Amino acid sequence: MATFRNPVIPGFAPDPSVCRVGDDYYLAVSSFEYFPGVPIWHSRDLVRWRQIGNVLDRPEQLALPPALHASGGVYAPTLRHHDGRFWLVTTVVGGAGTIIVTAEDPAGPWTDPVRLDIPSIDPDLAWDEDGRCWCTFAGVRTVPIDPVAGRLLGTPQRIWSGTGLQYPEGPHLYRIDGWWYLLLSEGGTERGHAVSIARGRTPRGPFEPCPANPILSHRSTDHPIQNTGHGDLVRARDGSWWMVLLGVRPRGRTPSFHGLGREVFLAPVRWEDGWPVVGPLELEQPAPPGVEGVDAAEGTDASDGFDDFDEPRLRPWWVSVRERPAGAVRLDERPGHLVLHARGTTLDRPGAVLVGRRQRHPDTSARTRVDAAEGRGGLTIRLDEAHHYEVEADGGEILARARIGPLSQEWARHPAPADPVLRIDVRTDPVPADAPDAVVLGYQDGPDGAFVPLAELDGRYLSTEVASGFTGRVIGMYATRGTVAFDWFDLRP
């Protein structure tokens, strides 16, 4: 029997929303303060996913304020296909508010946003049998809308707010076998997270809750997958049902810590007495029907591996913090190099120029060949402005630095080798006492040179449990003075 490994999209990819069009599945996730916004993924089997673009990839679509707080920005998109088009609704917290965009091709281009004036986050779109569009949002309330004009066609009405746990959010409405099902998350997005469901005969209800609520939660267990919630249902082409949801893989002693962020997990769904039953949800489990030759496969995506910067534009998995100024991030200035021109002088405040990738695996290694003869910059592993580690080239020297809350420490400077390659290793064994992982900062003389470690740090300080917020780690290149060029970047398990 073919099996697969959860998560199907590892690394910082929260709040998944999925739809099927024919034999193809498409999935969108939150991006928070990173640009471009809303990564979009494609799969033919629900197990192997490839990122095909970003929905909000133009500054006119996503203008995040320069001082936007960490974990602000793009929250909880819903992706749907209706009347021959893809529709996506999301909320830009601290920015434009709730917006709707559409596309004929999910890889883009997507339209400029249409603003929708609703008083909450986590919007959902669903169409009834008369073609009327309903927007349901955290709270939980629903209202008919004109999605083209961005107009409310009534007053939002509270319909059902879960079983009484905190933060009823992430609602999705579905019309299935004559019933309207309202799926939502509650209990907070931490260890108490849960998925519950209710049903009614119309989008306005009244809704009766499932007697088995919550239909999914790993709270108060020692299960290796925790924080399970924010689910979305999809019917596979063979008629089977599945749920994509977020979860985390915490490590270390209590309360345990996760640095990769909330990831995308996949679980089967069966129906009993008109209600969905979710599970099992394990790190390794039987694959969906028709998935052959995938024995214990992970989501396969080219965003792991080597990039020599020979393409005319950055591939879709590269992200920057809040914005990516065209004049500060250049691929055309020095052939085969990513050239960064500093705008901010430190990673401790908004404004620094950074280009990075999400950390996707608990054990990983990142390397880059750097030329900092005309500036200062390096390689960082970042959670936010107050929690990041980096190895840096500055004035012919290599140093390591850590920022943890209000504290900052710098390690002794070493003369830079002739061919500096900066390196960050994350490992889960061995680790400092009680820590989830260890982060080792260092450098090499050339790609084949011996690794010279400068510092080994506790990974818990780059975790949500310490730093708070909603994001995961990003590993990338930055410049904080002058001009810094990077010949290649390599990130792999």
Positions marked catalytic: 15, 169
Q: What angle do CA 234, 240, 244 make, to 5 degrees?
A: 35
Measuring CA to CA, which residue among 28, 164, 169 is closest to residue 87? 28
AA identity, residue 357:
R
- For residue 152, how far is the Cα from the chain centroid? 29
CA distance 191 to 464: 12
CA distance 50 to 40: 9
Q: Are 4 and 47 in contact (CB under 8 A)?
A: yes
CA distance 195 to 214: 5
CA distance 493 to 68: 32
Measuring CA to CA, which residue among 187, 169, 168, 174 is closest to residue 274? 174
CA distance 375 to 347: 15
Strands (E) across 342-413 are located at: 353-358, 364-384, 387-394, 397-404, 407-410
- The residue assigned the tokens 């990122």 is 51
DSSP string, 258-293: -SS--EEEEEEEEEETTEEEE----SEEEPPTT--S
Measuring CA to CA, which residue among 490, 485, 470 is closest to residue 14? 470
AA identity, residue 227:
N
Measuring CA to CA, which residue among 349, 361, 341, 363 is closest to residue 477? 341
3-state SS, residue 26: strand
CA dihedral 465, 469, 475, 478 (to 10 degrees): -130
The alpha carbon dihedral of 295, 299, 304, 307 has a sign of: positive
CA distance 375 to 292: 51
In 88-245, alpha helices (H): none
Q: 150's torsion region: left (phi>0), alpha (psi -120 to 50) or beta?
A: left
Measuring CA to CA, which residue among 148, 16, 23, 37 is closest to residue 82? 148
CA distance 451 to 215: 49
